[in-house]
Amino acid sequence: MLYSLKGLLLTLVSTFHGLRQPVTRQYPATGTLWKRRPAPTPVQPRFMGFPALTWDGIVDEPYCTSCMVCIRQCPTQCMSATMKDNPLNQDGRSSRKKIVETFEINLNRCILCGICVEVCNFDAIVMSHEHEMSTFQRNGDRVDLPALLEIGMKFQAKTSWIPPTELAKLAEKNQSGGDSQDPEVAAASKEPDGEPDG
Amino acid sequence: MADASSETIRSGEPIEMLLNMGPQHPSTHGVFRMVLWVDGEKIVDLEPHIGYLHRGSEKLCEGEQYHQVITLFDRMDYISNFNNELVYCQAVEKLMGLTVPERAEYVRVILCELNRIISHLLYVAAIGLDAGAMTPSLICFRARERVQTVFEAVSGARMMHNYFRVGGLKEDLPENFEDMIGELLPLLRDDVEESDKLLTFNEIFLARMKDVGTISADDALDYGLTGPCLRACGIDYDVRKAEPYSVYDRFDFDIPIGLDGDCWDRHYVRMQEMYESLRIIEQALAQMPSGPVTSSLGRRLIRPPRGDVYVRAENPRGEIGVYLVSDGTDKPYRVKVRPPSFCNLSALKHMVKGAWLADAVVILGSLDIVLGEVDR
Amino acid sequence: MTAAIPVLAIGLLDVMWIAIGLFVLFGALSFVVLSLTWLERKTLGRLQRRLGPTRTGPMGIIQPLADGLKLILKEDIVPSSSERAIFWSAPVLVIVPAFMIWVTIPASHDAVLRNLDLGLLYIVAFAVVGILGLVLAGWGSANKYGTLGGLRAAAQLISYEIPVIMVVISVAMLAGSLNMREIVAAQSAYPYALIQPLGLVIFFIAGLAEVGRTPFDIYFAESEIVGGPFVEYSGAHWSVFFLAEYINTFAIAALTVLLFLGGWSGPFLSENWVIVWFLLKVYAVILVIFWIRGTFPRLRIDQLMAFAWKVMVPLSFFTILITAIYKFYEWPAWSLTLMSAAGLLAVGYAIYRRMVGPAHRVAQVRARQKALREARLASTQSPGGTTNVV
């Protein structure tokens, strides 16, 4: 009897807590049927949403050169891509010889493992914070290059994204700047070709 | 089995009713199916049917590269993802003779123990619902949510983390990890205590769980039970102590045991294990060194030498073993998993025979199976 | 012939009044059920630190209407192998007694359809009829879970009918009447809860079992027999069972209030406003029922039956016995309180000892664990050495 009464007491206390501050957070909107306020899910900075392609704002082209590494490393083979010669490279504006022509990710197959991001050598793919992508069409989540770039740009703008290789270089510079000046590293870090903040 | 039923028909005794429980039944914990022969409310016999969630994980592993296999291990026991990743990574590391940086080992232990806690919390939620109590499940899910937020901050995913790597981790902990976990641990302890108070010693719960589904220590060993199911019988076997892996030999923790090997003892052992896990986490946080979290392997392709290796570890559900055969290529030749849930489930028939119909769900709940792991 | 006309007219008028009364009763009870479903979801939500329904109207207040609409619009599936006639008639057999009880349950001195002199007997008699509907529902739906549920319902409800009746008899002995009005009037000095706490507890627990609320929701236990007798019902037919369940819950709460908590008597209000006191008390009892639902697990059928026959039935006889002694020797009221409370404590302690017994083994477990740990420490301190850094 004693433990049952203790349990009753506990739920009573819990009720008062519930009246004061319930744990539930309403999603995707709060308010009543007539007056809704959107309440999107906050995600952690490292949150891995659906993969998206990044946009090189300096050269005005995607980072992706369609090198197929992510496509080969994807555990579910949910991506496909084709490449073309980069017209901007012929003009001399870009250092990328090849550039992505088409890129498709079947987000219904994607398992959000992040391996594609890890293996990418060109900082071209990110795990965006996008996760609410339900559609009414069976193939509605097969996204193509413009859509992927759009998600990617949204992500870049939201998180003021810096390419990971840049980050690594910066970190290296900071480290080496502490003890000895390595001319090579200093030279390399002087010419950042990545996206500036914001 | 089927024979038992037909025998009774021949012997002229009352014919039992065949009752099909699952695969779509609220308390079969996924897609498990029990075919029960019941005599009124008493269970005469049981035939378990598994395989409804068979995804061919072991075979799929043979077609994936070593680092891709981690994603499959995430999905095997989908309640304790970190623990599964750990045992696979350890297998490959052992095969390659890699040493893991110390900080990575500590991070792994912290995350695995957090995962053990939320796995046990899910068990408490499920056993509460099986026994008809509704509130503990909400308490446990509240706590799980908190831990999963930390997981999200660390690995980027709430459940399928893909965070451990062969030779270390994907990346170091986020900067605010100390704050997050410092905030989390007291709340988590509160929630565990709350569900403990609400359920463990409740008279009705005791009546439902005590002396139900009893298995003796000898039988438990014969059936190959491991984990809390074995420890409930009074055998203090825990791979973390018996054959310490990672840095588990540096922590001071107890192995909770039961006496009778019944459902309540299994419940009690799990409740106590959560407190022990919290102790481990606190010690690990205090001892955690700084330094790198990835090995010298870097981002190179993993290509272990020819050979085979067997590695075991303590999952929340019991001892998980991975037998890995490498033929020297970038894909494993064979990955065999010894899933704790599958072996624990084998004792279900022994426990359920002669029990009441309502006990069947409680016994199944107390075994705490994950069908993703049973069927693989 | 001409003399018969006024009689007939009076008869017709009477029938018409009863019809209007029944209609009002039906409306009021439907409203009560709607309010109860909302209250249950909201209370349980807050108890579990959730919100409960929020989207439909302010605080989700029209959620029950939305639910009802959904249930009515849903397809009514009839299993092909079911016994059609029984399958259709079972909900009616459950709902009709649930309403019939309310004919004689007064909400205040005047707010009653027909105050019967044998009201209590009538209520107890009709409460049992609903069981038949549950058994038929289980059997008629040609489902094994349903059959098990129906049989569980029969066993459970009939067993718990006995303590209910016994406690009702003890109350009738105290009040000297089976008329609900007189029972309430007899409690004007003090509610019977004060002099008969044991009776209140037995009645409340047995009442919970009667209506199948947690921890006695065994005949439709979702985690075992997936809804029991209702497993094959859907749409409007299922909602009829639902309606009956909530009306019965309300009836048990109302009877608890009328028999033990002084009915509609309360300070500050007079005349017809006393109905507010009645409703307040009934909803308070309902909240306790929801509170219990949010706390306890479910018993097993054999434990339930054992509890009925080994604890509740003897205790209810004990209640009658002490009431009889009290009435016969005309002892003061507190003597009955003492006897009743003593019985309650004795039984509470017995249950505590019986059910917590296993928990005392925890000490043994701890000791064993300590011994094992020391043994292990001793073994690791052998020359092999331990790597215990801590």
pLDDT tens figures, C308-339: 888 888 888 888 888 888 878 877 777 777 77
Main-chain dihedrals φ then ψ at residue B2, nearest 5 degrees: -60, -35
The Cα C324–Cα C174 span in angstroms is 9
**Tell me, what's the pLDDT at A63?**
86
Is B235 inside any structural domain?
Answer: yes
Is B46 inside any structural domain?
Answer: no
CB C56 within 8 A of CB C69: no
Computed over every residue of chain B, the mean pLDDT equals 85
pLDDT tens figures, B24-47: 888 778 788 888 888 878 888 888
DSSP-based three-state secondary structure for B319: strand
pLDDT tens figures, C203-226: 898 888 888 887 888 888 777 888
pLDDT tens figures, B137-190: 888 998 998 899 999 999 888 888 888 888 888 888 888 888 888 889 999 988
**pLDDT classification of B120: cutoffs 50, 70, 90:** very high
User: Which of residues 248 through 267 in chain C touch A, CB cutoff 8 A?
Assistant: none
Residues of C in contact with B360 (CB under 8 A): 224
User: In this predicted model, which residue has the larger pLDDT, C9 or B134?
Assistant: B134
Give the residue from chain B lying closest to C361, CA to CA.
Answer: B259
Lookup: tokens for C268:
């500050």
Q: Chains contacting B with at least 3 CB pairs below 8 Å?
A: A, C
pLDDT tens figures, C249-303: 998 898 898 888 887 877 777 777 778 888 888 899 999 999 888 888 888 888 8
Closest partner residue to B153 (CB to CB) among A23, A44, A118 is: A44
**Tell me, what's the pLDDT at A189?**
39
Is B2 inside any structural domain?
Answer: no
Residues of A in contact with B174 (CB under 8 A): 44-46
Closest partner residue to B203 (CB to CB) among A1, A113, A118 is: A1
Share of chain C above pLDDT 90, in %: 1
* Full set of structural domains in chain A with CATH: 51-159 (3.30.70.3270), 162-198 (no CATH)
Is B112 inside any structural domain?
Answer: yes
CB C133 within 8 A of CB C90: yes
Task: Tell me the nearest-neighbour CA distance from A134 into chain C, angstroms.
Answer: 22
Q: Is A18 in contact with C351 (Cβ distance < 8 A)?
A: no
Length of chain C: 390
| β-bridge mates for residue B336, sequence order | B323
Dihedral in degrees, nearest 10, Cα atoms C44, C49, C53, C59 = 110
Is B175 inside any structural domain?
Answer: yes
Q: Is C348 in contact with A1 (Cβ distance < 8 A)?
A: yes
Span B81-108, mean pLDDT? Answer: 88
**Tell me, what's the pLDDT at A187?**
40
CA nearest neighbour of A125 among A133, A116, A135: A116
Interface test with A, best of C55, C61, C198, C214 (most A CBs within 10 A): C55
Closest partner residue to B203 (CB to CB) among A4, A23, A111 is: A4
The Cα C38–Cα C32 span in angstroms is 10
Closest partner residue to B133 (CB to CB) among C297, C351, C368 is: C297
Is B323 inside any structural domain?
Answer: yes
Does the pLDDT of residue C30 top 70, yes or no?
A: yes
**pLDDT classification of B13: cutoffs 50, 70, 90:** low
Give the residue from chain A lying closest to C353, CA to CA.
Answer: A1
Count CB pairs under 8 A between chains B and C.
138
Q: Are strands A142-143 and A98-106 parallel, antiparallel or unpaired?
A: antiparallel
Does the pLDDT of residue B1 top 70, yes or no?
A: no
Closest partner residue to A3 (CB to CB) among B72, B155, B201 is: B201
CA nearest neighbour of A53 among A81, A74, A92, A11: A81
Does the pLDDT of residue B104 top 60, yes or no?
A: yes
Closest partner residue to C297 (CB to CB) among B132, B244, B249 is: B132
Does the pLDDT of residue B298 top 80, yes or no?
A: no
pTM above 0.90, yes or no: no
**Tell me, what's the pLDDT at C50?**
85
Q: Is B170 in contact with A47 (Cβ distance < 8 A)?
A: no
CB B357 within 8 A of CB B218: no
Question: Is B201 an 8 Å CB contact of chain C?
Answer: yes
Q: Is A4 in contact with C294 (Cβ distance < 8 A)?
A: no
Give the residue from chain A lying closest to B163, CA to CA.
Answer: A113
Question: Is B242 an 8 Å CB contact of chain C?
Answer: no
Does the pLDDT of residue B359 top 70, yes or no?
A: yes
Task: Tell me the nearest-neighbour CA distance from C6 into chain B, angstroms.
Answer: 60
Task: Tell me the nearest-neighbour CA distance from C286 into chain A, angstroms.
Answer: 15
Task: Tell me the nearest-neighbour CA distance from C160 into chain A, angstroms.
Answer: 20
Q: Chains contacting A with at least 3 CB pairs below 8 Å?
A: B, C
Residues of A in contact with B76 (CB under 8 A): none
ipTM of the assembly? 0.83
**pLDDT digit of tens for each residue in chain A (198 aa)?**
677 778 888 888 888 887 888 888 888 887 766 777 888 878 888 888 888 888 887 888 888 888 888 888 888 888 888 888 888 877 777 788 888 888 888 888 888 888 888 888 888 888 888 888 888 888 888 888 888 888 888 888 888 888 888 888 888 887 765 444 444 444 443 334 433 333
For residue C191, is the peptide bond before it cis, meaning its omega torsion is within 30 degrees of 0?
no
Please provide the DSSP assignment of B127-168 as one string. Answer: HHHHHT--HHHHHHHHHHHHHHHHHHHHHS-SS----EETTE
Q: Is B152 in contact with A46 (Cβ distance < 8 A)?
A: yes
Q: Is A22 in contact with C49 (Cβ distance < 8 A)?
A: yes
Span C81-89, mean pLDDT? Answer: 85
Question: Is C360 an 8 Å CB contact of chain A?
Answer: no
The Cα C70–Cα C150 span in angstroms is 26
pLDDT tens figures, B43-71: 888 888 888 888 888 888 888 888 888 88
Is B12 inside any structural domain?
Answer: no
Q: Is A1 in contact with C352 (Cβ distance < 8 A)?
A: yes
The Cα B185–Cα B137 span in angstroms is 19
Domains: count for chain B: 1
Give the residue from chain A lying closest to C59, CA to CA.
Answer: A32
| β-bridge mates for residue B302, sequence order | none
Is B346 inside any structural domain?
Answer: yes
Residues of A in contact with B135 (CB under 8 A): 11, 14
Lookup: tokens for B153:
């901050």
Give the residue from chain A lying closest to C357, CA to CA.
Answer: A1
Residue-range definition of the domain harbouring residue B323: 56-369
Closest partner residue to B129 (CB to CB) among C223, C302, C389 is: C223
**Tell me, what's the pLDDT at C383?**
44
pLDDT tens figures, B247-285: 888 888 888 888 888 888 889 889 889 998 998 999 998
Output the domain CATH number for residue B96.
Answer: 1.10.645.10
**Tell me, what's the pLDDT at C371?**
76
Question: Which three-class secondary structure string do you get for chain A?
Answer: CHHHHHHHHHHHHHHHHHHHCCCCCCCCEEECCCCEEECCCCCCCCCCCCEEECEECCCCEECCCCCCHHHHHCCCCCEEEEEEECHHHHHCCCCCCEEEEEEEEECCCCCCCCHHHHHCCCCCEEECCCCCCCCCCCCCCEECHHHHHHHHHHHHHHHCCCCHHHHHHHHHHHHHHHHCCCHHHHHHHHCCCCCCCC
Closest partner residue to C49 (CB to CB) among A2, A8, A17 is: A17
CA nearest neighbour of B314 among B97, B104, B109: B109
Closest partner residue to C50 (CB to CB) among A4, A18, A32 is: A18
Span C120-125, mean pLDDT? Answer: 86
Q: Is C48 in contact with A14 (Cβ distance < 8 A)?
A: yes
The Cα C183–Cα C174 span in angstroms is 9
User: Which of residues 108 through 167 in chain A touch B, CB cutoff 8 A?
Assistant: 111-115, 118-119, 127
Interface test with C, best of B187, B257, B359 (most C CBs within 10 A): B257
**Tell me, what's the pLDDT at B3?**
47
Q: Is C299 in contact with B208 (Cβ distance < 8 A)?
A: yes
Task: Tell me the nearest-neighbour CA distance from A174 into chain B, angstroms.
Answer: 16
**Tell me, what's the pLDDT at C357?**
59
Task: Tell me the nearest-neighbour CA distance from A126 into chain B, angstroms.
Answer: 12
DSSP-based three-state secondary structure for A192: coil
Lowest-confidence region among A175-179, B78-82, B120-124, B233-237: A175-179
CA nearest neighbour of C133 among C244, C291, C20: C244
Span B13-25, mean pLDDT? Answer: 78
Residues of B in contact with C293 (CB under 8 A): 134
Residues of B in contact with A14 (CB under 8 A): 135, 194
**pLDDT classification of C386: cutoffs 50, 70, 90:** very low
HSE-CB of B161 using CA atoms within 13 angstroms: 28
